[in-house]
Amino acid sequence: MTMTSAEFKAICIAAIDAAKVSRGKNKGMLKAQCPKSDSDGAAAWQAMTLQANPHKAGIFTIAMFTDRQQAIFDAIGKAIEYPCALKDPYV
């Protein structure tokens, strides 16, 4: 099964939404605890936490990611580290 970049982008956005608080005074902030480790949200949470607070990231959890989770982790990490690299140069 192949996936288009638009589908992968939608998956990454959903994963980021799963890693953020959705209600209350902290809405939009990163959750305090990692979502369930077999979810896409865990990959997004680990990528964002690795940039925000590396001491809280779980290296063992990252090592146990599936291929899908690893792709999400890499894409979000790259987007955080190099935000200009993901923009279309012709826009």
**Does any domain span residue 69?**
yes
Please state which of the ranges 47-56, 72-81, 82-91 shows the lowest mean pLDDT. 82-91
Judge whether 10 lies within some domain. yes
**How many structural domains is the chain composed of?**
1
Q: Is residue 91 part of a domain?
A: no
pLDDT tens-digit map of 18-75: 999 999 999 999 999 999 999 999 999 999 998 888 888 888 888 899 999 999 999 9
For the cut 50, the answer to whether the pLDDT of residue 12 exceeds it is yes
The secondary structure of the chain as a DSSP string is: ----HHHHHHHHHHHHHHHB--SSTTTTSBPSSPPPTTSHHHHHHHHHHHHH-TTTS-HHHHHT--HHHHHHHHHHHHHHH-GGGGS-TT-
> What's the predicted TM-score (pTM) here?
0.83
Please indicate, yes or no, if residue 33 is contained in any of the structural domains.
yes
Query: For position 10, what pLDDT does the model report?
Result: 92
Domain that holds residue 16: 5-86
Q: Around 21, how many Cα atoms within 13 Å sit in the side-chain half-sphere?
A: 11
